[in-house]
Amino acid sequence: MELHTIALLALSLLVFPGLLFTGALALFSEWFIRKVEARMQNRMGPSYVGPFGILQPLADLLKLVAVKEEVVQRYSVSWAPKAMAMVGIGAAVTSLLFLPISPVRVSAPYDFVVYLYVCCLWVPISIMVMGLSVPNPFTAAGISRFLSIYAVSEPAYFAAVLIPVALATYLGHCDPPFSVLCTAQVSWRLWGNPLGAAAMALGLVGVLVSLQAKEMAQPFNIPEAEQEIIAGFATEFSGPVLGLNNLLHDIDTAVSLIFVTYAYLGGPYPFPHLSLPGVAMLVVKYLALLTVMSIVASAFGRLRVEQGVEALLKYSALPALAGLVIANVVPLMG
């Protein structure tokens, strides 16, 4: 590998769209969600740190990481939560290499399998190990809730991710086949086919509901149970561990929404990718998805575990599976 290629890869992983950019986007997304939810609940939301309170998430992160004390319990594995948080953050950032936003782009036949492995497997594994590294029965109960929700939301998300990837291949828009990068570049064309549009619409519903659960946003935030005395899998998190946990959550949200923006909403379409109008369109679509998530979180109360699983089956898994079935009918119609 040549030196300039290594330098470009390092730039993509560390600066744009790597850790620096993704971290900034994640903190902005947290501020935006808190602002929208506050307005819907007749509150001000973040207002004091920075213009319109936009620096409040950064201030909260710095306070946890640099100021607050980390409480270490006896028999806990103190290094594991921080190490696994970094693994999860690294995996989420690396998944952006599969999208057009990255200067270094990964593309190969069936690379969607690698994408799912990187972006959708290591984040929940990191969260589970972080929680279980502290020997506390309340933390274990939070992990149990977490797994109950993820057992439905993750398969539904996988099916929803596969819909545009399969359609792009079956309709002849992509070579190599089943490539995330190629799908993100041509996804706007998938809505032009009647069957494709039906599959995409069902997949979009399924992926947004599953994301609401994956990100533990209301009404699927029972794994955190923030208003209870015992706050789920993060019960014993404090100081830097809590800060890294919050950052992992926000980065996972940002990366997931970037994927949906490209794979379902066409990214910068109808403008060229590197143009100023294209960047503006990409931002508008991303903020639209954030707004939808915020409105849903504000409009619904928290569901119990069994209610959350049932809702995910109805409004995420079934639409995603139906869309996947329709997507596989497309080559038969050709």
Q: Which residues contact 62 (CB under 8 A, 6 or more apart)?
A: none
Largest CA distance in the chain: 64
Helix (H) or strand (E) holding 158, with range, is helix 137-170
Please count the other Cβ atoms lying within 10 Å of the Cβ belonging to residue 44.
Answer: 11
**What are the structure tokens assigned to 158, written together?**
């996988």
Angle between helices 239-263 and 137-170 (to 10 degrees): 20
| DSSP of 81-93 | HHHHHHHHHHHHH
Confidence category of residue 224, pLDDT binned at 50, 70, 90: low
Give the whole-number percent of the chain exceeding pLDDT 90.
Answer: 60
pLDDT of 36-88, one tens digit each? 999 988 888 898 899 999 999 999 999 999 999 888 877 788 889 999 999 99
Please count the other Cβ atoms lying within 10 Å of the Cβ belonging to residue 226.
Answer: 11
pLDDT of 277-328, one tens digit each? 999 999 999 999 999 999 999 888 888 888 999 999 999 999 999 999 999 8
What is the value of pTM for the model shown?
A: 0.93
**What are the structure tokens assigned to 260, written together?**
């949906």
| DSSP of 85-144 | HHHHHHHHHHGGGGSTTSSS----TTHHHHHHIIIIIHHHHHHHHHHHTS--HHHHHHHH
> Do 239 and 267 contact (CB within 8 A), yes or no?
no
| DSSP of 255-292 | HHHHHHHHHTT-TTTTS-TTSHHHHHHHHHHHHHHHHH
Low-confidence winner among 23-27, 105-109, 272-276, 278-282 (lowest mean pLDDT):
272-276
Higher pLDDT, 217 or 21: 21
User: Phi-psi category of 108—alpha, beta or left, where left has phi over 0 and alpha has psi -120 to 50?
Assistant: beta
Higher pLDDT, 334 or 118: 118
Helix (H) or strand (E) holding 16, with range, is none
Burial class (CB in 10 A: 0-12, 13-18, 19+), 194: exposed
- pLDDT at 318 (0 to 100): 96
Q: Which residues contact 316 (CB under 8 A, 6 or more apart)?
A: 152, 153, 156, 157, 160, 205, 206, 207, 209, 210, 213
Rounded average pLDDT over 111-137: 89
> Do 100 and 262 contact (CB within 8 A), yes or no?
yes
What is d(CA 52, CA 10) in angstroms, rounded to the nearest whole number?
34
- pLDDT at 231 (0 to 100): 57
**What are the structure tokens assigned to 300, written together?**
């619904």
Name the DSSP letter for residue 316.
I
What is d(CA 69, CA 76) in angstroms, rounded to the nearest whole number?
16
